[in-house]
Chain A
């Protein structure tokens, strides 16, 4: 079977041909009717291709090289972006970016993993895999947002926290752990959006939020499908099966009540149209932020606590 992007390309060329035929058909009612029916068939097929996408196919879309990254969204959704660097202890981690920005003329703090497209930039961004400094920078800027009562918007897109020697030496685990605890009691609204890959603890470390949204083709998981396959099946080629078994897609996680909302993507995926993807995301952020704005600090903290307290209660008591 063709890959979903190939299938989508095929559909697109079919559509073009139909459009061309329409111009040829002119006023011929019968021909136009038939063409209209063809149009509907193509649309139905597109739905089928899309909803039939496997968890692994979505993983591939989530990792697509042309997928919009945090800075792409910042460009399109926000104004007055000013980056804030460094953890004031060891260094600046380019794999996580933090900064002030305006959203509909309101001040917000933005935190996001940052991936890159060319080799040099990829190395600079460490493929979006943060070191402890990244998480510590995120936390210190969150505290600043809290001090000045500004909402926090985070964008999650990482294969995971970097598993390196220096990261371990400098307390990767401690940095993540502290973020989880501090975000749970942050006194401003937080909205986290999984835009691409939600890689385990490295993702969660900036995603303990009042609202957790997932882009339609993003994934969120405790381990990569490849990692799971090599551990559980002792065979990394079983990644498709593992992806399915782990329930990592937006739809699966909405069903399991692990996330609050799924943000639609443009036809074929966010990589096809960055502007449209950003517009959909902005719409969703506007809606959720408005809902959170009206809440008092204690109400906000209590609902956030209850939300995570009740999450994933899959047990029986005998």
Chain B
């Protein structure tokens, strides 16, 4: 028996030695600053050091914009029927069910009505954590209903996008949602009712190539990835590295593709100001 062999097995190296800090701190991916979660929340999920805007969910968006964080949800019971019976490595129907359980919503979109500085508005907010905020039959229908309701009640419509684009698992059905929503926006435009598109990180593909770019005003949060094709696809096509900051909000602003880049803390006042330009005061 070797003299250095431990005969006492009480010490367990896999045991917990550290104090649990998960969930208390968050690291900013941009400046590597470590932020206390409560500070981050108090700062609207924006890094206090470098102003990087973290992704936030649809509910947080509604709370941020509506007066006193009060609103009514509508069209929240629509469920996809899996038109293609799509199965890749997993069945799409299973994917849907699991995501519905984990997010507590029926699809990647939430419709709500309420007021912004006393002015009645309709907000349709996308939920990125629901299959990448992808747009299928349900997202298309729910946004269209928000637009039609806006036209009927003459309430401004605000769509907050956060999406990787069309939902592949619904094939051409999701493609046609682009046409459907755009057609509804044509009617809203004809009716003279305001439509503001808010683009957040990320907004790409078929969502950018339809309603996200059709606002009377298209405004974005700082640093959001916004584009038609994804950066990887472009790199593969042109076979070179993309320049720094390509397809970020500031890049689009510089190229004349956005009307404004607005900090999260100023978003409500910017929208409110725009609506007072667009609608007569009561």
Contacts and interface: CB of A to CB of B under 8 A. Distances in A.
Contact of A256 (B173, B179, B180, B214): B173
Interface string A150-175: 00000000000111110111111110
Interface stretch (B2-10, B113-121, B184-192): B184-192
Given A208-B182, A247-B84, A312-B177, A318 B171 contact: no
Contacts, number: 186
Contact of B228 (A201, A208, A222, A315): A201
Interface in B123-140: 137-138, 140
B184 A309 contact: yes
B87 interface: yes
B213 A232 contact: no
B168 A223 contact: yes
B179 A308 contact: yes
The size bracket of the interface on B is 35 or more
A309 B183 contact: yes
Most chain B beta-carbon contacts within 10 A, residue among A171, A176, A181, A185: A181
A313 B141 CA distance: 7
Interface string A218-253: 001111000010011100000000100111100001
Interface residues of A, number: 54
Contacts of B137: 312-315
A309 B180 CA distance: 5
B206 interface: yes
B189 A181 contact: yes
Interface string B177-220: 11110111111011000000000000001101111111000000
Instruction: Name which of A163, A247, A316 has the most chain B CB atoms within 10 A of its CB.
Output: A163
A34 B168 CA distance: 51
B172 A221 contact: yes
Contact of B234 (A165, A174, A314): A165
A76 interface: no
Contact of A315 (B79, B183, B213, B247): B79
A253 B172 CA distance: 8
Nearest to B233: A163
A312 B257 contact: no
A43 B28 CA distance: 68
A223 B174 CA distance: 11
A181 B172 contact: no
Nearest to A234: B89
A258 B213 contact: no
B168 A163 contact: no
A169 B212 CA distance: 16
A245 B186 contact: no
Contact of B176 (A163, A181, A305, A311): A311
Interface string B44-87: 00000000000000000000000000000000011111111011
Contacts of A176: 209-210, 228
Contact of A168 (B83, B87, B141, B234): B234
Given A184-B183, A200-B175, A318-B79, A164 B234 contact: yes
Contacts of A221: 171-172, 175
Nearest 6 interchain pairs by C-beta: A163-B229, A184-B183, A180-B182, A232-B88, A314-B83, A173-B208
Interface of A: 161-165, 167-174, 176-178, 180-182, 184-185, 200-201, 204-205, 208, 220-223, 228, 231-233, 242, 245-248, 253, 256, 258, 304-305, 308-309, 311-318
Given A171-B255, A220-B172, A317-B77, 12 more contacts: A168-B229, A168-B234, A184-B182, A185-B186, A200-B175, A228-B168, A242-B88, A256-B173, A258-B176, A312-B140, A312-B180, A314-B80
20 contacts: A165-B234, A173-B208, A173-B212, A173-B213, A182-B186, A185-B187, A200-B166, A204-B176, A220-B172, A222-B175, A233-B88, A247-B84, A304-B183, A305-B187, A308-B176, A311-B176, A311-B180, A314-B170, A315-B80, A317-B77
